[in-house]
Amino acid sequence: MLLQPLIMSDNPDDESDSSVITRTRTKTKRPPLYKVLLLNDDYTPMEFVVHVLERFFGMTHAQAFEIMLTVHKKGIAVVGVFSHEIAETKVMQVIDFARRHQHPLQCTMEKEDWAAPNVAAPDLWLPRTDP
């Protein structure tokens, strides 16, 4: 097999032309994130909410207890921030688990507009600064 040099000129005899091939890279955007929210109700036991937070969101008992109290006092709390698919899955898991145990616990998701340095303390969230 005989290899020939790649010449970037219309004239095959012109070896003085030194063209540069540039490759354009597309900059990929990070996918949007979604907050998973737990809503308060008057019927779901507090210990069940703690169990849900430990099981589906990987929280320690102390973290889950703190979030449960936030839900109880404020009516709603962010329990995690995830990609769309993961957030959607977590919402469905929580709702299905609550229904199987005959609790009216509500869980929902919404597009995240804030940077969350600490999910357990939504009061400390800062506005995003990236474009």
What is the pLDDT, as a whole number, of residue 127?
A: 43
Distance CA 81, CA 34 (A): 5
What is the pLDDT, as a whole number, of residue 107?
A: 98
* Mean pLDDT per 10-residue segment, the chain (131 residues): 59 61 81 96 97 98 98 97 97 98 98 62 44 44
What is the pLDDT, as a whole number, of residue 129?
A: 45
> Residues with Cβ < 8 Å from 107, sequence gap 6 or more?
36, 37, 38, 39, 79, 90, 91, 94, 95, 98
pTM equals 0.67
What is the pLDDT, as a whole number, of residue 30?
A: 87
What is the pLDDT, as a whole number, of residue 23?
A: 78
What is the pLDDT, as a whole number, of residue 124?
A: 41
Residue 87 belongs to what H/E stretch?
helix 84-100
